[in-house]
Amino acid sequence: MQPRSFALAALVLSLAASGRALAAEPRLKLSLVPGPAYAHKVRFGLVPVTLRPQIAMWIEDAEGRFVDTIYVTRRAAKADWKAAGGARRPEALPLWSHARGIAAPDGLYMPDAKHPLPDAVSGATPDEAFAKYWPLPASLAPGSYRIRVELNSSFDWNASYPDKLPKDDARYSEANGQPSLLWEGRLLIGGGPASARLEPAGTGSLRGEDGRLGPGLAGLTSARDLAASIAAEFLP
């Protein structure tokens, strides 16, 4: 074999081995299937725009302590609200932002443009069903973990959360309409493969003032249909 051919073959074998090693690393997989309300149209003047939800995926330990962000949509991750005139949108994903526990200089628990989340955990809202993978850090102890996903769609008004409310109305929430909806499940990490189906668990605060989970789903309509299903898997 010629030296150049030998070097090329060695490189191919090295890349293949690297790929196998990477695939063998323990990972957490989160899969989301959109529901019938995942995309909805609104008009800005004469211009129709299709909106998809803001989404945050994260992991907490068994006691509810924040571990890490797995994925968050770009607008929330980088304060990239192009049509909102620089608004900070704390009401977009209040449960995730307060669980993360990092206040921006203006005191709001959402990333600002000067302190964005990295591209590794952020991206545009996918148009269709998708999966996100999170490589498990070596320091993560085996055990039961809480997997949480928060979804929220702008201009998602309904009879319980109507448009054009006065600001002193308890249901007023800037551009949201219905509050964010949390899906959660518990997943055993460590040992063999494991899976969990996430279920709706409650709502975030309407104006993003805190990270308390509101019990029940009363008053929600289309917000319940942003996702058809969400599942978590441990892939050892």
Q: How far apart are CA 17 and CA 100, in angstroms?
A: 36
Q: Give this prediction's pTM.
A: 0.88
Residue 191 Ramachandran class (φ > 0 left, ψ -120 to 50 alpha, else beta): left
Given the structure tokens 């909106």, which residue do they identify? 51
Q: How far apart are CA 33 and CA 38, in angstroms?
A: 9
Question: What is the reported pLDDT for 13?
Answer: 44
CB–CB of 92/208 below 8 Å?
yes
CB–CB of 209/89 below 8 Å?
no
Three-state secondary-structure class, residue 32: strand
Given the structure tokens 């008009």, which residue do they identify? 43
Question: What is the reported pLDDT for 16?
Answer: 43
77: part of which helix (H) or strand (E)?
helix 74-78
pLDDT in tens, 79-102: 887 655 556 789 999 999 999 999
CB–CB of 165/172 below 8 Å?
yes
Q: For each of the chain's 236 residues, which pLDDT tens digit applies?
A: 454 444 444 444 444 444 444 456 999 999 999 999 999 988 877 788 899 999 999 999 999 999 999 999 999 999 887 655 556 789 999 999 999 999 988 899 999 888 999 999 999 999 999 999 999 999 999 999 999 999 999 999 999 999 999 999 999 988 889 999 999 999 999 999 999 999 999 999 999 999 999 999 999 999 999 999 999 999 99
Q: How far apart are CA 214 and CA 181, in angstroms?
A: 9
CB atoms within 10 A of CB 113: 12
